[in-house]
Amino acid sequence: MTTAADQLLTVPEVMARLRFGRSKVYDLIRSKRLVSITEGRARRIPEQALQDYIRDRIEEAA
């Protein structure tokens, strides 16, 4: 069973999955290409947002 916490990724987790640096991930967030949520100082990226970003990049490349 997947919980809501399993569906939210930290910036380091996204960095590892995309093999991007920290600055690149924050650039994607700032440019609204990667959706994130913030609660206090904690920033999380929904798993679906990461999948959408990857899908969009694949479609752009096609």
Rounded to whole angstroms, the Cα distance separating 44 from 23 reads 15
Which residue type sits at 39? Answer: E
pTM of the model as a whole: 0.86
Nearest to 47 by CA among 24, 13, 1, 20: 13
Tens digits of per-residue pLDDT, 9-61? 999 999 999 999 999 999 999 999 999 999 999 999 999 999 999 999 999 99
